[in-house]
Chain A
Amino acid sequence: QSVLTQPPSVSGAPGQRVTISCTGNSSNLGAGYDVHWFQQLPETAPKLLIYDNNNRPSGVPDRFSGSKSGTSASLAITGLQPADEADYYCQSYDTSLSAWVFGGGTKLTVL
């Protein structure tokens, strides 16, 4: 059971917009800790996609955006492409566990 809760899967057609939710609690997102998002393509290492809630590292397209409010966060992907098919993970810090924590991951399927 992951500390941060994500839907196991989402799907969308090419060109559409999808969102992936990430729900925490008062010890992590609700305590003010930032949320970050990673993309993991099949058989590869995770790659930082969004940091500090809504910032994109250099090279990440602006089709990817993040937001956070209270104990919840979300990742939005617009203009869906087949290459976006991957697992997506949210991540934060949990003060009661004194640990960096991840969501269980969401598998994005591009129909």
Chain B
Amino acid sequence: EVQLVESGGGLVQPGGSLRLSCAASGFTFDNYDMNWIRQAPGKGLQWVAYIHSGGNTIFYADSVKGRFTISRDTAKNSLYLQMNSLRVDDTAVYFCARKRTGTTYFASWGQGTLVAVSS
């Protein structure tokens, strides 16, 4: 069974940092591109960041470029999102989602972890 389990969310002050993790199991992690997608309270979905299955290609949404860093660890079957210079409007549930290379849809999602940025 495919499982994606996010962790690392919490309450942080504006300007602070947080590192999210996503533990993957039930599939060959190396064969999938991975993404972070977020959902602000009561709002819709927003794609945040992408990393290719091989880790050599990375893309970010303009709203997080220069502040967030996506990475993956094949040995640990894990995906990460380092979030720096956090802003109030980064408050959201962050989901990790897998995508097969060559496709444009997010096949499986984790349950999400809440990041709240507030003073």
Contact = CB atoms under 8 A, between A and B. Distances in A.
Contacts, number: 58
Contact of B50 (A38, A51, A100): A100
A99 B61 CA distance: 7
B95 interface: yes
Majority DSSP secondary structure for residues of B touching A: loop
A2 B47 CA distance: 12
A104 B47 contact: no
A46 interface: yes
13 contacts: A36-B105, A36-B106, A38-B45, A45-B95, A45-B110, A45-B112, A51-B105, A51-B107, A93-B104, A98-B59, A99-B47, A101-B47, A104-B44
Interface of B: 35, 44-47, 50, 59, 61-62, 95, 103-112
